[in-house]
């Protein structure tokens, strides 16, 4: 497959790199980290004004009309700067799902605001003790002309700022994908502490009201929608990991080229250069895996195995490159005030988001076994 960028994609990537590199400084990150919430609202608004938040949103809804593959270029640049921005749940999770599966009325209701930066949407993919969003314990019960939502969701990014949270529930045994206002009656938010300080919340639903207008999909359509949401989120997570690890590798190359021992840069020592080379191979393999998965999702082709491969690589590469970068930096690599430490925190969080690589390795093995079974049968 040809993964070379079109002229339009190069323009999107260049604009994202220009804004993020210029705005996301170490001092700015430290100021955000010392505050109560690690969300750069001013930068989010700037990305909205530039049109970048609407990269993969249709033109009729105020976006640029590009595909998911192009959106991944923005997500990678965010990863390179570790800017505290919820691009994955808002743009890859919620917006992509609405565009593909929601009614035109729901798209008109939400997407123009997402593209401009005025509206935040997020997704709830996990429940306590449940990793599969297609098997939720959260349930809907009939209540008047609508329903009442009961249950709990966890690790919901920016739920306190979101206009709506996309989530799954059960209605008389049938799967339902819906959008609910996190500030509605019957919804309680509890902050959750995570590695990077990213604003995440547990949501508790106690007879929260749901109407027909809040329903995105039901039954088989809801299953397809949530599977697509998970796949787009996993690939976006992998692309973010690519950006994070690429910067860690560049920082390590710069440090080992300047740090001298025995009268020469430590980068010239074989043990150091080999470990750096291994990290480079890891990053480039992850890049190819991400490009393959994003390309298939953009074409709405079967991306099941490609998505699993990307997530497996992302988890492994996040761990290995982070470890190598810290080791090659020596003592300064674990200094909390040194910029590398911030990237290591993000690498660890991304590695374990929606599960570590081993769980997906098992899923990939099962998928391959089923594929060969069907061929043989």
Torsion sign, CA atoms 150, 349, 356, 239: positive
Using DSSP, state whether 201 is helix, strand or coil: strand
Q: Does domain 139-219 have CATH number 3.10.129.10?
A: no
CATH 2.40.110.10 residue spans of the chain: 139-219
Phi-psi region at 186: left, alpha or beta (left = phi > 0; alpha = psi -120 to 50): left
CATH 1.10.540.10 residue spans of the chain: 7-120
Crossing angle of helices 357-376 and 304-329, in 10° steps, is: 150
H or E stretch covering 275: helix 270-298
Determine the pLDDT at residue 309.
97
**DSSP structural state of residue 6:** P
Determine the pLDDT at residue 362.
92
Residues 221-376, CATH architecture: Up-down Bundle (1.20)
CATH number for domain 7-120, candidates 1.10.540.10, 3.40.50.1100, 3.30.460.10, 1.20.120.530 = 1.10.540.10
Q: Nearest-5° angle of CA 227, CA 228, CA 233?
A: 100
Nearest to 292 by CA among 276, 273, 305: 305
Strands 215-218 and 174-180: antiparallel
What whole-number distance in Å separates Cα of residue 286 and Cα of residue 317? 7
Tens-level pLDDT at each residue, the chain (377 residues)? 789 999 999 999 999 999 999 999 999 999 999 988 789 999 999 999 999 999 999 999 999 999 999 999 999 999 999 999 999 999 999 999 999 999 999 999 999 999 999 999 999 999 998 888 999 999 999 999 999 999 999 999 999 999 999 999 999 999 999 999 999 999 999 999 999 999 999 999 999 999 999 999 999 999 999 999 999 999 999 999 999 999 999 999 999 999 878 989 989 899 999 999 999 999 999 999 999 999 999 999 999 999 999 999 999 999 999 999 999 999 999 998 999 999 999 999 999 999 999 999 999 999 898 888 888 86
H or E stretch covering 298: helix 270-298
CA distances from 105 to 56, 63, 101, 108, 174 (A): 18, 17, 12, 5, 23
């Amino acid at each position: 497959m040809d993964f070379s960028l079109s002229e339009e994609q190069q323009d999107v990537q260049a604009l994202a790199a220009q804004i993020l590199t210029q705005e996301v400084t170490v001092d700015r990150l430290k100021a955000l980290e010392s505050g109560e919430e690690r969300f750069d609202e001013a930068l989010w608004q700037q990305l909205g004004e530039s049109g970048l938040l609407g990269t993969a949103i249709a033109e009729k809804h105020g976006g640029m009309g590009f595909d998911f593959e192009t959106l991944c270029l923005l997500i990678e640049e965010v990863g390179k700067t570790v800017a505290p921005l919820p691009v994955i749940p808002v743009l890859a999770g919620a917006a992509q799902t609405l565009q593909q599966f929601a009614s035109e009325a729901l798209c008109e209701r939400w997407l123009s605001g997402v593209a401009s930066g005025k509206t935040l949407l997020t997704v709830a993919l996990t429940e306590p003790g449940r990793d599969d969003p297609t098997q939720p314990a959260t349930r809907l019960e009939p209540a008047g002309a609508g329903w009442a939502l009961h249950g709990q969701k966890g690790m919901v990014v920016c739920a306190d700022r979101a206009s709506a949270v996309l989530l799954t529930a059960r209605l008389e045994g049938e799967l339902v994908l819906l959008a609910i206002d996190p500030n509605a009656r019957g919804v309680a938010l509890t902050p959750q502490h995570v590695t990077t300080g990213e604003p995440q919340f547990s949501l508790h639903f106690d007879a929260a009201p749901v109407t027909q207008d809040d329903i995105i999909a039901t039954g088989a359509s809801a299953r397809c929608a949530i599977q697509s949401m998970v796949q787009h989120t996993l690939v976006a997570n992998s692309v973010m990991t690519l950006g994070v690890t690429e910067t860690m590798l560049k920082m390590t190359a710069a440090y080992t080229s300047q740090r001298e021992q025995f009268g020469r840069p430590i980068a010239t020592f074989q043990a150091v250069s080999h470990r750096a080379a291994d990290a480079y191979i890891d990053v480039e393999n992850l890049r190819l895996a991400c490009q393959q998965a994003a390309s298939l999702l953009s074409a709405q082709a079967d991306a099941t195995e490609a998505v699993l491969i990307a997530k497996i690589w992302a988890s492994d590469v996040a761990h290995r490159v982070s470890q190598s970068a810290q080791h090659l930096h020596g003592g300064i690599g674990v200094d909390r005030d040194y910029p590398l430490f911030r990237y290591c925190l993000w690498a660890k969080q991304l590695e374990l988001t929606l599960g570590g690589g081993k769980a997906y390795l098992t899923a990939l093995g099962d998928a391959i076994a089923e594929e060969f079974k069907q061929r043989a049968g």
